[in-house]
Structure 1
């Protein structure tokens, strides 16, 4: 096995993490489907296994990459993937807007909710709130922060005991963290007060939700801020020392976006899989076997967007799939936001570190 290549075989299914393409011309394999995705393997496995039940002769090659390398790799070789999946919504929108995506012309695509797609080319297929996670030590000693105002008050009132006990994304290292920062700065006039309070307690900065969850489980942190809820939900369910909090004032919601490249090497298989992701069957797998949150309008039970809206209503703030996402990628605006973030946080560039491996989520 080539160094750095991790493969899980399930029948005709290959799950490959951060790998180079295997030897040989895969473009000539008519029964192949190549998916490049920023979605961890445990969450993709149920979908890919069910899809192969419908297409048992199809060889599925899933390559799991970080969000930003996924974007850069696609630009370098736009003819290698049949389907591209990522939670980095601005980068996915840019690719579609720049003409790299081809339309999906199926009944499912035409009936897909308008808020969850762009034209017929870019499709959201998950509904994932951004949450807080707290350790039982915090709940035993202090009050539970149910929203951003209560978190801000807690950080200010308990500054000394919480110093070094909080963790959040570093927006300089994480595409997800930067996206959340720019969205919150638009949503809340108190956002910069919260950033300052996070800096005052010497909040640790991480590149991934997984990194934050590990630190919370070990008891190093008592508060994790802005974690990806789909990843946190399963982790917290298996760890009685942790609790997930959905802020009741506003909760950002991100969606995984998928598209078929115009140069997809196996376009028929690409259409089959993208249509499956937004089909009732595929969405039922998402609702029942993952924590990603299904969008399909016919599904309303646990694990669906409809259920989230029933329990949390107007607090949910899904990111809009549209031209506004491009503003997130404007370099001047990006530098302006990061400069202010560092100024409010009071942490200089020497504190930054190289991005760690992981999903950048």
Structure 2
């Protein structure tokens, strides 16, 4: 079976069913530690790895010792499907799968949070008072320094396109990106970029010319880059890249100068949450200044709170990058990514452009 045939077969797989990251369905547990008054529970389901979630939960539990806190880490698809089967199991859902979270809220599955912090939350980072973005995570490129030394700087999409068009032979099989057919994140980024850039399809064709590997998670890309199997990675989740590559000086993280998509993790309280008061306390913490300060200081997720400045904040990144940052809009347009006909049309063109060189 040639590469084009294998690629066509992958397009038959359901979106999101491939490539679950290592460590999915891990848990954290914090017992109630107070002897004063009654205790309650908080159950959080999130598509957020334990190293990133632990500082937030430890600080929240320290401030709320009367709560027994349980956290379950799931893949985005598993989280969504589990909620549909058991909508009264979790008190809070956290996910980077923006279209799926938006659809849940849009279909009436989310409670409204009417606290002062919720009312002050930036309008661009919430939908009504039911869905709240709490991170600010640019989508980045990663380039090995040897590529830069040999072929020149890569600062944006135009540089990457020129690199792949001019040096495809030298980079054969050493480039990696998401497979939009099997990765929800990859598909979302493909839709957004096809709207943003008139040269997006040229870039897809150039990726195909370089015989780029198509994978399902940022983790797979980072592993291959660290091991030296890949020299260039395209459209990685910047928060995970910064965390994993802190001790890899040979790999440069590039926030594209021309435009950089920004994804946000979305939090909601299910309408049937078993412990709604505890859920409101946690979501208030998550979007309040204390929780956002922990997020900025102890994680690589990027804090949104407008009162926070300095490293690890959206304010700092906006000051540095300006209009090049393009947060994915939290609104009805997200539902287009879940439309079967639109998905089929985009993936058919993606496959055609990616395989263009083999068809000649």
User: Is TM more than 0.5 here?
Assistant: yes
2:137 aligned with 1:128, yes or no? Answer: yes
1:139 aligned to 138, 142, 148, which one? 148
**Runs of 4+ in structure 1 over 3 Å off:** 4-13
Please identify, of 57-66 and 29-38, the stretch whose mean Cα deviation from structure 2 is larger.
29-38
Aligned length: 329
2:248 aligned with 1:239, yes or no? Answer: yes
Aligned partner of 1:191 in structure 2 is 200
Aligned partner of 1:107 in structure 2 is 116
Partners of 2:30 and 2:113 lie apart in 1 by 28
Contact 2:26 2:73 in 1 (8 A): no
Partners of 2:69 and 2:153 lie apart in 1 by 45
2:287 aligned with 1:310, yes or no? Answer: no
Aligned partner of 1:226 in structure 2 is 235
1:272 aligned to 268, 281, 295, which one? 281
Partners of 1:273 and 1:68 lie apart in 2 by 23
CA 1:161/1:92 → structure 2, altered by over 3 Å: closer, same or farther? same
Partners of 1:11 and 1:238 lie apart in 2 by 35
Counterparts of 1:71-90 in structure 2 under 5 Å? 71-90=80-99
For residues 94-144 of structure 1, the C-alpha deviation after alignment (integer angstroms, 9 at most, x for no partner) is 000000000001000000000000000000000000000111221232212
Partners of 1:6 and 1:188 lie apart in 2 by 38
2:176 aligned to 167, 176, 186, which one? 167
Unpaired stretches in structure 1, ≥5 consecutive residues: 14-28, 348-361
Contact 1:293 1:303 in 2 (8 A): yes
Partners of 1:236 and 1:143 lie apart in 2 by 21
2:52 aligned to 34, 39, 43, which one? 43
CA 1:326/1:7 → structure 2, altered by over 3 Å: closer, same or farther? closer
**Pairwise CA distance, 1:11:** 5.7
For residues 42-83 of structure 1, the C-alpha deviation after alignment (integer angstroms, 9 at most, x for no partner) is 100000000001111311111111111211111111111100
Counterparts of 1:194-343 in structure 2 under 5 Å? 194-343=203-352
Aligned partner of 1:359 in structure 2 is none
For residues 170-209 of structure 1, the C-alpha deviation after alignment (integer angstroms, 9 at most, x for no partner) is 0111100000000000000100000000001100011110
TM-score (norm: length of structure 2):
0.89
Secondary structure (helix, strand or coil) at the match of 1:287 reads helix
Contact 2:30 2:69 in 1 (8 A): no
TM-score (norm: length of structure 1):
0.89
Partners of 2:108 and 2:27 lie apart in 1 by 32
Unpaired stretches in structure 2, ≥5 consecutive residues: 1-23
CA 1:180/1:255 → structure 2, altered by over 3 Å: closer, same or farther? same
Aligned partner of 2:106 in structure 1 is 97
Partners of 1:121 and 1:295 lie apart in 2 by 17
